[in-house]
Structure 1
Amino acid sequence: MPDSPIAKPDAPVVSVITPTWQREAMLPFAYRSFAHQDVGPCEWIVIDDSAAPSPFMTSLRDPRVVYRHVSRRMSIGEKRNLAADLARADIIAHFDDDEFYAPDYLRAMLDPMKAASADMIKLSAFFLYSRVYGKFAWWDTLRKSGLHFRWGPQPMTALNFPAEHAAFADNHLGYGFSYVYTKRLWAAGPFEPSSFNEDGAFALAALARKANLMLLADDVGLCVHVLHAYNTSLSFPQYILPDALVARHFPRFTEAMRELPAIARARP
């Protein structure tokens, strides 16, 4: 890893990183999220430990794309670290291969991050779409108590959490699909070589080093966290959104979910 992770003068403004595994059908969808971003020069770094290289990725002729196929299985944390090490920008953003990012997503994250001189920014409230239930929802992870819906591979249930719900104490720091941070922050404490909660552990370690972490509530439709039958973590939104409301106020959500390919594998 570099001793001095300072971006070069000709470096992109942000390096988008994506770990993937056996998700060939999802990669064109993920590429569209990257290619449609309305920020300045950026790059997309994809680390793939699938059985064979991706035909889609190897056929791309986009100079902004860095594709690395590795021959051994790696944890998500290891793949994030490899991608971050390759990043040329001073800012790193996570794009998971099964999420939807609106064209103004990166700009909406980078502008407040830079204004506050933050080391890291992430969404504390966000939209979700369950492919199991065929429903959209919204979750404010800073609200730890009260009515929540349990969303996962199993049938939906309603839960009422007490005011001091210890299991939710740090969950606003996880869900790394919306992480944006400086390369310097990563170099000071890379991801653990794990495929579960490597993101939450990264954020907690950064806070322990007194990093300036900024939280942003998405109430305008910057991103959709997509849930499917292969998710390894549960979500607990407080609000289930009527289809008519989503179609009227967030038409790009419904269009994107119609274009979303089938997912046949678990986490990358």
Structure 2
Amino acid sequence: MPTRDRRRFVPRAIAYFLRQDHPRKELVIVDNGTDPVDDLLSTLPTVRYHRVTPGITVGAARNLACELASGSVIAHWDDDDWQAPDRLTRQVGQLEAARADLCGTTSVLYYDPAAERAWRFTWPSGLPRWLAGQSLCYRRDLWLRSPFPDRSAAEDSVFVRRLADRSHILTTPGDPLVALVHPRNTVPKTSRNVYCSPAPMAEVRALLGPDLGFYLTGTPQGCGRQGPR
């Protein structure tokens, strides 16, 4: 989980990690912000914090997190996304069942709480292979062969594109996460894209359940409970 000056979101991201139903997990946090968030972290041994010089790229932060990880499978954990409680179980199981190298979604549900609207971005099947960066789950050996480029935009797209022709890649069905739209997104999010279509708010409410209150008021609600899957 690379993070940079997102103090409000970090406790929520950690809570989503802790309630994952996968029995073996660790969260590696790489903080390159000007406001260190180590004071917000749990003392649980499954959460590890690493502070780096402010200003390094997202690609460099991802590479460092992969290097520090002790497991054989890596899952991206964006600090501002909602995560389904079974996301890790779902994606790790998918990799192992098919003996695949990499999985992720080609369709992402975006939620803008300030405007109370949502939309879905869906990548067409006829175009070169693409997976949503925040949804990636892959074997650490894959990263060792092809690390992330030293850049802060589209580093995940380049990673997938480099591997597309020489790796076993799967599409994860459903919505293992919901991408949050807010003023501090690393890359500004917009629904004005030919691959975007409006999504009903009922879909967001069904997924987030009691977690929805956090995004509407900033007050944690149901943080320790597992929402709908």
Q: Which residue of 2 aligns with 1:229?
A: 183
Equivalents in 2 of 1:238, 1:90: separation in Å? 34
**Are residue 23 (structure 1) and residue 23 (structure 2) matched?**
no
Equivalents in 1 of 2:122, 2:173: separation in Å? 7
Q: Which residue of 1 aligns with 2:147?
A: 190
**Are residue 105 (structure 1) and residue 97 (structure 2) matched?**
no
Give the alignment partner of residue 122 of structure 1, picking from 85, 104, 116. 104
For the Cα contact (< 8 Å) 1:130–1:226, is it kept in 2?
Answer: yes
**Are residue 134 (structure 1) and residue 111 (structure 2) matched?**
no
Cα RMSD for the two superposed structures: 2.2
Deviations 1:229-261 (A, max 9, x none): 3332545464423334554xx1x4153232137
- Structure 1 stretch 236-245 or stretch 96-105: which is displaced more? 236-245
Q: Which residue of 1 aligns with 2:56?
A: 74
TM-score (norm 1): 0.72
- Runs of 4+ off more than 6 Å: none
Amino acid at match of 1:51: T
**2:161 partner SS:** helix
Gaps of 5+ in 1: 1-17, 145-168, 263-268
For the Cα contact (< 8 Å) 1:33–1:103, is it kept in 2?
Answer: yes
**1:33 partner SS:** helix
Equivalents in 2 of 1:71, 1:185: separation in Å? 26
**Are residue 258 (structure 1) and residue 216 (structure 2) matched?**
no
Equivalents in 1 of 2:32, 2:178: separation in Å? 25
For the Cα contact (< 8 Å) 1:125–1:142, is it kept in 2?
Answer: no
For the Cα contact (< 8 Å) 2:38–2:49, is it kept in 1?
Answer: no
Equivalents in 2 of 1:245, 1:113: separation in Å? 27
Amino acid at match of 2:213: R
Give the alignment partner of residue 173 of structure 2, picking from 217, 220, 226. 217
Deviation at 1:52, TM superposition (A): 4.1
Change (3 A) 1:85 1:130: same
Change (3 A) 1:245 1:215: closer
For the Cα contact (< 8 Å) 2:16–2:83, is it kept in 1?
Answer: yes
Change (3 A) 1:83 1:191: same
The structure having more radius of gyration, on CA atoms, is 1
Mapping of residues 146-165 of structure 1, within 5 Å = none
Equivalents in 2 of 1:194, 1:19: separation in Å? 13
**Are residue 32 (structure 1) and residue 15 (structure 2) matched?**
yes
Deviation at 1:55, TM superposition (A): 4.3
Give the alignment partner of residue 160 of structure 2, picking from 203, 210, 218. 203
Equivalents in 1 of 2:159, 2:35: separation in Å? 30
Mapping of residues 59-70 of structure 1, within 5 Å = 59-70=41-52
**Are residue 179 (structure 1) and residue 136 (structure 2) matched?**
yes
Gaps of 5+ in 2: 219-229
For the Cα contact (< 8 Å) 2:72–2:140, is it kept in 1?
Answer: yes
TM-score (norm 2): 0.84
Equivalents in 2 of 1:242, 1:122: separation in Å? 23
Equivalents in 1 of 2:201, 2:188: separation in Å? 25
Number of aligned pairs?
Answer: 213
Deviation at 1:131, TM superposition (A): 3.2
Change (3 A) 1:180 1:241: same
Change (3 A) 1:227 1:52: closer
Change (3 A) 1:234 1:25: closer
